[in-house]
Amino acid sequence: MASTGCESLKVLAFDVFGTVVDWHGGIAREVAALELAVDPDAFALAWRAGYQPAMRRVMSGELGWTLIDDLHRLILDDVLDQFHITHLTEAQKRHLNKAWHRLDAWPDAVEGLRRLKSKYIICTLSNGNIGLLTDMAKRAGLPWDCILSAEVFRKYKPDPAVYLGAAKVFDVAPDEVMLVAAHHDDLAAARACGLKTAYVERPAELGLAAIKDVSPDLRNTLHARDFLALSDRLGC
């Protein structure tokens, strides 16, 4: 097998939403189950669209440190107003907000992670909070060695403290960690901190009606179709 340039690699750190789990399909499924008389796909996209603006409120200092669960609820309340949904009880809103804990893994994810785990430490490196990621892993059978979250560092990606913090947790150099993600901006921020990176295609991340451009950015980045292909590239 040709060298991948990853001979010193020790830790694979994974972005989660969209990379490991299908957030769009899971949220749309839960919205459909509530029979809200809205387009479940549009609702899922609107909820996710609030994610970056909400995080910017934290990073700017407008909001104090806030868990993703709580940001998701702030966004959900806005989206319910946007879609003119006024009849949900507080218990129903809380249940819907925890739909992010109940997302399904992509079909290749569990087996791919098991293969990669045979050679490397595998961990999450997500903006999702620890409780959310733990519930998700338990339900979906994700075999993490460790769950790392922005919550640990009290900074959200793309803050360098998150990427460098992952290396510090395992007492390794940044270039002994590889971030695996389906998002070029996340990977670029990790590379800027000295991490290795791997881009994984997730064309259906935004749903089957909005297939995503998965053209790779090959600047010092490994490229794989899915986790099984990544395990082959890394000799697992």
Would you state the pLDDT for residue 236? 79
Give residue 207's identity as a one-letter amino acid code: G
65, 71, 146 from 156: Cα distances, Å = 9, 12, 18
Instruction: Retrieve residue 158's tokens.
Output: 């793309």
Provide φ and ψ at 105, rounded to 5°: -75, 150
Would you state the pLDDT for residue 7? 80
Would you state the pLDDT for residue 2? 41
For each of the domains in the chain, give its residue range(s) and CATH number, in order of start. Answer: 11-22+105-233 (3.40.50.1000), 24-101 (1.10.150.240)
Inter-residue contact 224 to 198 (CB < 8 Å): yes
Specify the pairing of strand 11-14 against strand 196-200: unpaired
Inter-residue contact 172 to 155 (CB < 8 Å): no
Please choose, from the candidates 139, 137, 143, 133, the residue with its C-alpha nearest in 3D space to the C-alpha of residue 112: 143
* pLDDT tens digit at each of 236 positions of the chain: 344 567 889 999 999 999 999 999 999 999 999 999 999 999 999 999 999 999 999 999 999 999 999 999 999 999 999 999 999 999 999 999 999 999 999 999 999 999 999 999 999 999 999 999 999 999 999 999 999 999 999 999 999 999 999 999 999 999 999 999 999 999 999 999 999 999 999 999 999 888 888 887 767 789 999 999 999 999 97
> Per this entry, what is the length of the chain?
236
The helix, strand and coil proportions of the chain, stated in percent and rounded to the nearest 5, come to: 45, 15, 40
Centroid of chain to Cα 81:
26
Would you state the pLDDT for residue 3? 46
133, 135, 214 from 205: Cα distances, Å = 18, 21, 10
